[in-house]
């Protein structure tokens, strides 16, 4: 059965945010034992739903990422499981911290996308997303940490200047966090480069002129 994927404007969950094609949450548990016990309970519920969330278990918190891989994004199936997990978290005394969520992408500016894509796929994960996705380097087995790396995407540029910036970070955060993150970057000595594409992304630069993008899932249609 075909499943319709949902956009950021179609998901309204207090504890979850749609970041880079997945519903993500973070719950603080206070101890590793409590976090591990909650993962076990949530795992049984996920099994009842016939679903397998990605789980990031840390010393005092646990993170979940939900996506329907066959559909290529988030569906109502993921929303229903997210709601169940939130109820379980409340019952177990865990604290949702959606404002702490973020997903990191690396972006490589290059005039020769097809030439360099295979190299970085071999170095990082061995797989690319295919020509229809621009040859981005992806991590489908999720072998790299959930909070650390989502993909290396290749951004075409016509600049061949030897001093151009080639790599920059794309940090995707909940929409309500983006303005605070931009303000903090400027307060720390950076400056605003371009906000004409907000809320999809805002470009900021450090004191040396190195760019980074603060991104959300909004405004990408």
pLDDT lower than 70: segments of the chain: 1-2, 119, 122-135, 138-151, 162-163, 221
pLDDT at 154: 76
Q: Which long-range contacts (CB under 8 A, 24 or more apart) does 64-67 make?
A: 64/23, 64/24, 64/25, 65/22, 65/23, 65/24, 65/146, 66/16, 66/22, 66/23, 66/24, 67/21, 67/22, 67/23
Instruction: Write the pLDDT tens digit of every residue in 57-109.
Output: 999 999 999 999 889 899 999 999 999 999 999 999 999 999 999 988 888 87
Domains assigned to the chain: 8-99 (3.30.1360.20), 101-215 (3.10.180.10)
pLDDT at 147: 43
pLDDT of residue 130: 56
pTM assigned to the model? 0.80
């Amino acid at each position: 059965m075909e499943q319709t994927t949902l956009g950021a404007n179609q998901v309204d969950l207090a504890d979850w945010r749609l970041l880079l094609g997945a519903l993500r949450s973070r719950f603080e548990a206070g101890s590793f034992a409590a976090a591990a016990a909650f993962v076990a309970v949530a795992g049984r519920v996920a099994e009842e739903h016939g679903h397998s969330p990605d789980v990031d278990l840390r010393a005092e918190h646990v993170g979940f990422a939900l996506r329907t891989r066959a559909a290529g994004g988030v569906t109502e199936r993921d929303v229903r499981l997210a709601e169940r997990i939130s109820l379980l978290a409340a019952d177990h005394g865990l604290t949702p911290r959606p404002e702490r969520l973020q997903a990191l992408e690396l972006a490589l500016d290059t005039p020769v996308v097809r030439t360099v894509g295979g190299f970085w796929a071999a170095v990082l994960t061995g797989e690319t997303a295919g020509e229809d996705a621009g040859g981005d380097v992806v991590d489908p087995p999720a072998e790299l940490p959930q909070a650390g790396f989502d993909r290396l995407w290749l951004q075409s540029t016509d600049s061949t200047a030897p001093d151009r910036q080639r790599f920059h970070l794309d940090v995707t955060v909940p929409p309500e966090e983006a303005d605070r993150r931009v303000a903090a970057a400027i307060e720390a000595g950076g400056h605003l480069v371009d906000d004409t594409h907000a809320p999809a992304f805002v470009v900021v630069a450090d004191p040396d002129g190195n760019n980074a993008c603060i991104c959300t899932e909004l405004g990408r249609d």
